[in-house]
Amino acid sequence: MQRRTYTIHRVIQMIPTLVILAILIFLMIRAIPGDPAVTLLGVQATPENVAVMRHHLSLDQPLPVQFGIFVNQIVHGDLGRSTLVQIPVSTLVAQRLPLTLSLVVYAMVLALLITVPCAVIAAFNKGRLVDQLIRGYTILGISTPGFWVGILLLIVLGVKVHVFPVGGIGTSPLQDLRYLFLPALTLALGVSAILIRNLRDAILSTLGAEHVTVARAKGLHSQTVLLRHVLRNALISTVTLLGLYLGWLVGGSVIIEDVFALPGMGSLMISSILGRDYAVVQGFTLVYAVLVLTIYLLTDLAYSFVDPRIAL
């Protein structure tokens, strides 16, 4: 019951944020210098087309009325229409969101696969060469731009060694795993650098905890102590960080999709900015923000299950 109350409370907390978010995104196109109708249609638009667009966008109405209409359209799934490809933005979202989500989830799985063994090895070899090497990797991972790492991976593993495709997507989910490997790895390398540091420190502080000493004193096998007593507790803070970085990965995917020419939301958003297709930029910004808010909500709810004290 308390968890249910917490969930409802947490969802209600999102409402003011969503309202301010809608206002900001509503103002986005209007903040661009010049007439929004001309901005959307381009400078070569005829006065008649501009007048039609002004009426279509309700720009002849007072600002609060315009905002009401904007919210009503969003609620009904109408995110506007792309001026370049002449299809609804919601259709573009439906076409491209699955790939972006797949990339983010794939990257997170790879990041975990890199993080856990590296952090365990580093923590159990504190101060030794292997620990220093892993520390070096984390510093390099934090300090190196993802798009450059992606290009290097493309040159080495795609062009020179021909192990992975250099761009695009496959025709089946299994092929997609291969096609998305390099972009997902690029994203994962950056995030794992941060997660390894966090998990290594958490393992080191858990190793000194009393319950671990007791587990060792009981004569438990070192593997059992590691898996059931150390890692399980140390992972809690990393899982929280993981939720936060899932949101970061969504943003990072915008650039990586562009590097690997993936037909996701990010690559279209970039080409839309350069092509001044502002309806797409506005719609996609909204979708990204709602996506991240949903991820944070789900992380908080999942965390309340892992640690019931949160919901109290």
| Binding-site ranges for another protein (CB under 8 A) | 16-17, 20-21, 24, 28, 31-32, 139-140, 142-148, 151-152, 154-155, 159, 247-248, 250-252, 254-255, 258, 269-270, 273-274, 278, 281, 284-285, 288-289, 292-293, 296
Closer residue to another protein (CB): 81 or 229: 81
The two three-digit tokens of residue 86, written as one number:
């002449």
Closer residue to another protein (CB): 107 or 254: 254
DSSP code of 230? Answer: I
Closer residue to another protein (CB): 77 or 145: 145
The two three-digit tokens of residue 58, written as one number:
């309700």
The two three-digit tokens of residue 104, written as one number:
């983010």
The two three-digit tokens of residue 7, written as one number:
């969930």
CB of 172 to another protein, least distance (A): 27
Angstrom distance (rounded) from CA 289 to CA 215: 45
In the block, tokens 């309806």 appear at: 279
In the block, tokens 């540091």 appear at: 197
Closer residue to another protein (CB): 235 or 254: 254
Closer residue to another protein (CB): 144 or 233: 144
CB of 273 to another protein, least distance (A): 5
Cβ count near 106 (within 10 Å): 20
CB of 290 to another protein, least distance (A): 8
CB of 186 to another protein, least distance (A): 12
Count, in order, helices (H) and strands (E) of the chain: 14, 0
Closer residue to another protein (CB): 11 or 273: 273
DSSP 57-92: TTTTS-HHHHHHHHHHHHHTT---B-TTT-SBHHHH
CB of 250 to another protein, least distance (A): 5
Cβ count near 130 (within 10 Å): 14
CB of 303 to another protein, least distance (A): 16
